[in-house]
Structure 1
Amino acid sequence: MTRETRTVPEQDPGAVRAPFGIHGYEETVAHDTSWNAHAHPWDELLWNERGASIAVVGARAWTITPTLGLWMPAETMHSGSAVAGTWFRATFFGRATTPSLSDVPVAVEITPLLRLLLERLGDAGLDPGSRAATEAMVLDVLTPSPRELLVQVPTSPLLRPIADAVRENPGDQRTLSRWAAELGVSTRTVTRAFNAETGTSFARWVAGVRAQHAVELLTRGWEVEAVAEEVGYRSASAFGAAFRRTTGLTPGSFRPR
């Protein structure tokens, strides 16, 4: 499958004071696409009209979907990727005129109201008064979400073999005790390392990796049963239950319509 790699020019965050309030950009990528690590001098809301994409900051990787966006603060180095056919949208917030939602990346629920307001700002014929009122409403309804499709990737020499194997093959069936035996350490040692590096348990971390991979496959049009098998579940029902616990949504909500 063709993959396109894009380079975003380096920008000096202190050199630009964006005079605009809220400005949007959208594109449908024809190929699997990756963006290099870069930062903007303005805040950015990443969201999708269709498909799935990934934004990476350090060792943290967020999945972005039509219902779950990501607030990327100005000056934050991040890279990204999107699967072919993804209709992605980026909304830029000029810090000279709009307050920042957060100084760290946070998930944002893309509610129907927020979507409508952001789409209205894309109307080139919107008069200044209506634009100002709409921007004020966007800032009023823009709030962090308690849900997020986030995976903290462990990087220590102990856990890196596990992280690499599971991310390469989310259907990997090795248990925590089997991994500990293969690495020559105790189960308790691996458990403590996972909690320290990822803030969660091994089982929940694996569920998060599987959910991220499942979202990508679902947005490509895979059937739920095929996705369940690919990411390591014995049945579609078991996959669906685990997926809902992790994302708060059903697998079917991510399939193209």
Structure 2
Amino acid sequence: MVIRDMAPNTAAGRGKRRGRAEAVDSRRLPLYAAGEIDVPFVVYGTDEVIARDTYWEEHSHPTHELLWNQRGASTARIGARMWTVTPSVGLWIPAGTLHSGWTPAGTWHHAAQFGIHAVPAIADTPVAVEVTPLLRLLLERLNTEGLAADSRAKTEALVLDLLAPAPVELLLKIPDSSLLAPIVSAVRADPADDTTLAAWAVRLDVSGRTITRAFRAQTGLGFSQWLAAARVQHAITLLCGGEEIEEVAERVGYHSASAFGTVFRRVTGMSPGRFRAQ
């Protein structure tokens, strides 16, 4: 896997990054099996304001991990599945799970490690977690230096009590079919690409039904549904970066903010404005 597989790669984004390719960090972390290291903590949190666009090479932890952001949006990829991580929707990654990631510059990134000896996995597979304001405050409290042992234990208990799968996952499945590769590449390069299913069928010399069947088999979505999900995932990154809704709508291929809002609400369960406010 190369860096561009994880990075937003729209024409506008390429323009902003042109001339500073050297500013991309690539971080290599160890591969650990679940429980390979016996950690002494229940919950241990870290945070970092990411100075440069950063690609996290595939790695795994001996602990369970919860990813979330204080500011901005990032992505985590596990196999063919790509989750978007935001201030309100985090990602629970069970111990020993291979994953990679992409974090844009300016993101305030948080990661909390949970010792498997003290914390059962909330799910056997990666799952989105709702990061409520209360959960966020408790996780931040655990980073406080000099926190008394009894206060830490009470805070950790509250954190564990609040951990639960989110009602909506910001998840995009990336098909690995060679047939669909040109479509995936075009949309990842420019979410506003307006090539229709019929045009792709002509270009790939297959029927539109064949393309739709391939998308459903690998992602559970038809072509138009997958395209909408891919566009919304990129739009979330732009919204978390502070861009205006009208500009985001145009950059991901919608002619009006209302049309974009309809699709965004269908995918995420909320309007773009409400999502950004959260």
TM range (shorter): over 0.9
- Change in Cα spacing, 1:24 to 1:14, as seen in structure 2 (3 Å) is closer
Match of 1:107 in 2: 128
**Helix, strand or coil at the partner of 1:16:** coil
Return the alpha-carbon distance in structure 1 between the equivalents of residues 128 and 32 of structure 2. Answer: 24
Indicate yes or no: 2:68 matched with 1:47: yes
CA contact (8 A) 1:222 1:255 kept: no
Is 1:243–2:264 an aligned residue pair? Answer: yes
Secondary structure of the equivalent of 1:134?
Answer: helix
Q: What does 1:98-247 correspond to in 2, within 5 Å? A: 98-247=119-268
Kindly provide the amino acid, as one letter, of the partner of residue 143 in structure 1: A
SS at match of 1:15: coil
| Alpha-carbon offset, residue 10 of structure 1 | 3.3
- Aligned residue among 82, 85, 89 for 1:61: 82
**Secondary structure at 1:36's aligned position in 2?**
strand
Shift in alpha-carbon separation, 1:216–1:107, aligned structure 2, 3 A: same
Tell me: CA distance 1:14–1:95, structure 2 relative to 1, closer, same or farther (3 Å). Answer: closer
Q: Deviations over 1:29-86 (max 9, x none)?
A: 1111111000000000000000010000011110000000000111000000111110
Aligned match of 1:23: 44
* Contact residue 27 and residue 88 of structure 1 kept, 8 A: yes
Percent of aligned pairs with the same residue?
Answer: 55
Aligned to 1:37: 58
**Structure 1 stretch 112-121 or stretch 51-60: which is displaced more?**
112-121
Tell me if the contact between 1:220 and 1:256 (Cα under 8 Å) persists in the aligned partners: no
The CA distance in 1 between the partners of 2:145 and 2:222, in whole Å, is 48
Q: Report the AA paired with residue 127 of structure 1.
A: A
**CA distance in 2 between partners of 1:217 and 1:25 (Å):** 25
> In the alignment, what sits opposite 1:7?
28
Tell me, yes or no, if the aligned pair for 1:56 and 1:79 is still in contact at 8 Å. yes
Question: What is the RMSD computed on CA atoms of the aligned residues?
Answer: 1.7
Q: TM-score, normalised by structure 2?
A: 0.87
Shift of residue 256, structure 1, vs aligned partner: 9.1
- The one-character-per-residue Cα deviations of 1:197-233 (angstroms, maximum 9, x if unpaired) are 0011211111111011112222333222221111100
1:85 is aligned, of 106, 111, 115, to 106
TM-score under structure 1 length normalisation: 0.94
